[in-house]
Amino acid sequence: MNTQSRIPKLNSASFDGALMWFADMQTKGLMFHPDNDPAEILRICDWQPMFSDPEASEVRFVMNELFTNLGDEVYAAAYPIVMNACGLQLDA
């Protein structure tokens, strides 16, 4: 059985690349806090893991790339996407 991953490809380990990756994750309903281990994230609707084991490994790989290249700027890239997902508008 060959299943396609729901994890989008990280096109660039830059701030803009991180912003796009988090936006793609949010669009797919896969938003999470960058500090959380993807293997431990549960869906609220049924308390099942959000990510399969291979997907959790992919997310860890992407997060490692982002933190290695951006450090704490990862949080700044994720912030507007998380706020949008929560329905909160940011001041321009």
CA distance 28 to 31: 8
Q: Which residues contact 78 (CB under 8 A, 6 or more apart)?
A: 18, 22, 33, 34
Asked if 34 contacts 78 with a C-beta cutoff of 8 angstroms, the reply is yes
What is the domain range of residue 70? 15-85
Q: What is the pLDDT along the chain (92 residues), one digit of tens a residue?
A: 557 889 999 999 999 999 999 999 999 999 999 999 999 999 999 999 999 999 999 999 999 999 999 999 999 999 999 888 777 776 65
pLDDT at res. 91: 66
In a domain, 2, yes or no: no
In a domain, 47, yes or no: yes
In a domain, 35, yes or no: yes
The answer to pTM > 0.85 is yes
In a domain, 40, yes or no: yes
Asked if 33 contacts 89 with a C-beta cutoff of 8 angstroms, the reply is no
pLDDT digit string, tens, across residues 2-19: 578 899 999 999 999 999
CA distance 28 to 30: 5
Domain count along the chain? 1
